[in-house]
Amino acid sequence: MTCPKIFVLLSLSVLLAAATAAPPVTLRQAADKAGILVGAAVRPSLFSEPAYSATLAREFNMVEPEDAMKWWVVRRDADTFDFRQGDEIVAFAQAHGMRVRGHCLVWDHNNPEWLARGHFGTDQMSQLLQQHIIRVMQHYAGQVFAWDVVNEALDEDGRFKDSPWYNRPGIGLAGKGSAYVEQAFRWAHQADPKALLFYNEAEAEGLNGKSDAVYAMVKDFKIRGVPIDGVGLQMHIPGLDFDTSQISPNIKRLTALGLQVHVTELDVSLPIGSGGSFSKDDLQRQAEIYRAIVRACVENPGCTAIQTWGFTDKYSWIGSHSHGTRGGALPFDRLYQPKPAYEAMLEEIARRSSR
């Protein structure tokens, strides 16, 4: 006859084993178990929408502002810094045990009119940029763990773009290649030595001229001791014929330099069908692209974060950017229901935790 105490202990052991073996049911649970960050770019004005805030807190362990820490929001005039929107994001993250990624300190876009049309000289531009980096990073020191210091400095051919910081008028380093990028990283490191510093770029996810230029620049930085910790690969995927096979080798060569890689702005847009719908075939192909990108990251220990640009199709830049011809780019639909892309992300992140 079985002793009741032994029976109870055996039952508890079976239940505990079953609970331990149960697969994660949210992206956040899977990511926490796998030791990776899974995040989304957010708008603080939407935190008051219950479905938005609940889905965000449940599914992600990292957030990044879409706009709230960019120049045009933070610094509407030369003498004033307004951190209210960014502070809302930090407060939300702290309340829900999430990490915060900062975006971005230096970009040729999204600069306020007073800066773009100010007719400043190079010395003034240098002072303005140094002051901006120091003020913003020191304000968020200990609250923002990583920053996109410089965003999209290169054109599609891997050459440095004309920009207010490079040569229009620049900070005094025009024609000297990556020197202005290097200077921004040095100022950023001085402002917050504990923050991880990233160079963030679009259309450099595979092996091409632009990604070769990014690789050459960051390799040079590592050799010369420029304080850089990682590369952000945006991954705004514009079509379902996208070749995912070159993502893994690109991540591999970057992490081999001793750098981290973050997937920073992932979305995969779809053609909009009649009535604003998407075909099942397109949704499945979208999921396969999400799966391949997430797999390329989770299979490399140096790829430490995966982030989508938004998370619900209800609030996505794709519609306005494509003039209404494309959409449905994110893992949750407009009603916050998970799509096949979500399931693909969850499965791939869970695979990492099961190894």
**Residue 182 in tokens:** 């290097």
DSSP 19-87: HHHSPP-SHHHHHHHHT-EEEEEE-GGGTTSHHHHHHHHHH-SEEEESSTTSHHHH-SBTTB---HHHH
Query: Cα 135 vs. chain centroid, distance in angstroms?
Result: 22
**Residue 118 in tokens:** 């100010």
User: Which DSSP symbol is given to 312?
Assistant: B
**How far is 331 from 27, CA to CA, in rounded Å?**
11
Q: Helical H runs in 75-225?
A: 84-95, 113-116, 122-139, 179-191, 209-224
Place of tokens 């595979």: 206
**Residue 312 in tokens:** 């619900």
Q: Is 59 a catalytic residue?
A: no
Q: Is 203 a catalytic residue?
A: no
- Name the active-site residue from 182, 205, 265, 348: 265
Contact between 346 and 27 under an 8 Å Cβ cutoff? The reply is yes
Query: Cα 155 vs. chain centroid, distance in angstroms?
Result: 20
Q: Cα-flanking dihedrals φ and ψ of residue 349, to 5°?
A: -65, -40
**How far is 287 from 295, CA to CA, in rounded Å?**
12
**How far is 197 from 235, CA to CA, in rounded Å?**
19
Query: Cβ neighbours of residue 56 under 8 Å, at least 6 residues apart?
Result: 40, 42, 63, 92, 96, 311
DSSP 135-155: HHHHHTTTT--EEEEEE--B-
Angle CA(260)–CA(263)–CA(267) in degrees, nearest 5?
175
Type of residue at 24: P
- Name the active-site residue from 64, 152, 201, 205: 152
Active site residues: 152, 265
